[in-house]
Structure 1
Amino acid sequence: MENLDINPRIIAGVKKAGLKTYESILSLTTQDIQRSTNLSSSDVQVMKTAVAQALVKSPVSALDILHRNCPENLVVTKLTTGCDVMDTALRGGILSQGITEIAGESASGKTQFCLQLCLTVQLPAIQGGLGGGRSSLSYLMVMASMKTGDTRKHVPALGLTWANQVMCRIMLSRTSQQICVPKQVTTSSVTGGGQTCVRELEVIYAPHLPMLKILFIVDEEGIKALT
């Protein structure tokens, strides 16, 4: 903080409030910093501008980030869903930063989807995981969803303020379609051989994805997209 070219009074106020890193400054809103430091709005804006300039020495374009020609902290990794078809449609999987909301009606596959992500996060990075989990893992917020007729109504489980912080929203739902899962016999187990409900994953919005829908099933081995 001492290296920033700003009024020492601002630095002293920020440090007194316990904000000692650049990340802590940029992760809070101007209003939150004002409340904890008693600094004015203009002082906080000066601080945020100085921190942003200190972090990025030269301009970085979106194309640079796409091709990873940028500092490592700007690269957003993806977490595999455990299904290659679904990963391809989601351009690599679930974002490892920000909040990804998994919403859906009862028995739509939310729990299975989240449990599968809890498993894939343990995989090494070369296999699409995050090597046992880390602080940048996406937060998964399961929302209550009520369906009346042909319409759905979302009820934010943690309030509207939290819901508005979502970066990516994914909706899961059941369809009326049933398919037969082929029976597979191995030396240690028997899977399939029965009917299962076809479910649908829909991307409601995301900064890196178009609106899309993926049909999938849930069987003994987990989530599987239909091709």
Structure 2
Amino acid sequence: MDWAQLDLNPKVVAAVRRANIQSIKEILCLSGPDLQRLTKLSSSDVRYLHKTVAAVVKNDPVVTALQMYNEECPFPTQNRKLSMGCPVLDLLLGGGIPLMGITEIVGESSAGKTQICMQLCLSVQFPRSYGGQEAGAVYICTEDTFPNKRLQQLIALQTMLRADVPADIVNDIKFGNNIFIEHVADVESLNCCISKRLPILLSRGLIRLVVIDSVAALFRCEFGASDSIAKAKCLQKFGAMLHHLSHRFSSPIICVNQITDAINDSYLAQSDFGLSGKVLPALGLTWSNQLLMRLMVSRTQFCVEGAFPGDESALSSGIVQRRMEIIFAPHLPQSFCNYMICTEGVRGMQKTGI
């Protein structure tokens, strides 16, 4: 804080600096007697200091809850979302993925989880006016090798998928140069990557998205049924690290999760996951409590090959129809949207439901 910019007596400024007070927030958090003890100023000087600092803060506009709800408040970071690269899916998610917090994508094998994550890695590189963050992404693989061939195909067809963006803007983005791929084989390596390497890339502004595919693989392998307490502590520590990075750098964290069979019908009925079918997300309630939003994806049926997204009239062998369901989110109701994975990427289908 440059105290010289405030309308303060030089004697007061010198006393504040000697007390090693770095910000306005510190002054407002200190009582008059505490501030007087630290700065050795008189009571009148302390009152003057408090009033001057409070006047600076008062110049910021007051925001009502209604303005925040209508996204009219002057906090663009809180209002902005990362686009899914598809207007239908963005509509389902209220604009896209929140910039702060952990979003989980859970579903069965071949439901399209990795396809969605790769599309997000491309979407984050677009200008902010088109739902991106003008930065790259880190993709952490814990199971299979990264599907680079499919990524190159998606990059080549971005102009077809993102028809809302001028072609010259799309062609100017070097998508492949801005995706950092990391393969980890155990929980220790994952924690090292999260705590040491990611902060460097985030602090330099090189990335604004982290994808972990999948979070369940390592924890399910390293912790047995008798290690539930140790596993819970490890998951809590892991979630805290991710939250810290996400909020510090306003960068969404996407975690892919696996599903597991429910123990019995009564357990499923008591659960609050809202999943259709006898399946539950892996890692249990300890991990669920770390999440901001949970999305469930699944395969539902087949569509006519080459059908345009939104056309659900004919069903036959061909392109697989899938479903994305909002299981929980603080800002969204439970709802769903069907989607297809086409050659150019993930496209939502127009019909939605609640």
Please classify the TM superposition score into its range, dividing by the shorter chain length: 0.5 to 0.7
**2:252 match:** 138
CA contact under 8 A between 2:85 and 2:120: conserved in structure 1?
Answer: yes
Q: Cα gap change, 1:69/1:212 in structure 2, threshold over 3 Å: closer, same or farther? A: closer
CA contact under 8 A between 2:83 and 2:132: conserved in structure 1?
Answer: yes
CA contact under 8 A between 2:104 and 2:256: conserved in structure 1?
Answer: yes
**1:121 match:** 124
2:291 is the counterpart of 1:166? yes
| TM-score, with length taken from structure 1 | 0.65
**2:30 match:** 6
**1:181 match:** 305
CA contact under 8 A between 1:108 and 1:173: conserved in structure 2?
Answer: yes
Residues of 2 paired with 1:55 and 1:113: CA distance?
44
CA contact under 8 A between 1:105 and 1:147: conserved in structure 2?
Answer: no
Let me know the Cα RMSD of the aligned residues.
Answer: 3.0
Paired letter, 2:109: S
Residues of 1 paired with 2:322 and 2:90: CA distance?
17
**Residue 60 (structure 1) shift:** 3.1
Higher fraction of strand? 1
Residues of 2 paired with 1:142 and 1:164: CA distance?
15
Paired letter, 2:302: Q
**2:278 match:** 151
**2:212 match:** none
Larger radius of gyration: 2
Deviations 1:57-89 (A, max 9, x none): 675333212344434266331111111111122
Q: How many residues align?
A: 172
2:336 is the counterpart of 1:213? yes
- Aligned residue for 1:137, secondary structure, equals coil
Paired letter, 2:120: L
CA contact under 8 A between 2:71 and 2:79: conserved in structure 1?
Answer: no
- Aligned residue for 2:88, secondary structure, equals helix
2:64 is the counterpart of 1:61? yes
Deviates more, 1:101-110 or 1:70-79: 70-79
Q: Cα gap change, 1:209/1:202 in structure 2, threshold over 3 Å: closer, same or farther? A: same
Residues of 1 paired with 2:319 and 2:261: CA distance?
21
**1:19 match:** none
For residues 12-161 of structure 1, the aligned pairs below 5 Å read 60-72=63-75, 75-132=78-135, 133-134=207-208, 135-147=249-261, 150-156=277-283, 160-161=285-286
| TM-score, with length taken from structure 2 | 0.43
Q: Cα gap change, 1:162/1:152 in structure 2, threshold over 3 Å: closer, same or farther? A: closer
Query: Percent identity over the alignment?
Result: 37
Paired letter, 1:168: M
CA contact under 8 A between 1:215 and 1:225: conserved in structure 2?
Answer: yes
Unaligned runs of 5+ in 1: 13-53, 185-193
Residues of 2 paired with 1:223 and 1:55: CA distance?
46
Paired letter, 1:155: A
- Aligned residue for 1:129, secondary structure, equals coil
- Aligned residue for 1:195, secondary structure, equals coil
**2:321 match:** 198
Greater relative contact order (Cα 8 A, min sep 6): structure 1 or 2?
A: 2
Deviations 1:169-217 (A, max 9, x none): 1000111x11123289xxxxxxxxx812111100001112111111111
Q: Cα gap change, 1:116/1:75 in structure 2, threshold over 3 Å: closer, same or farther? A: same
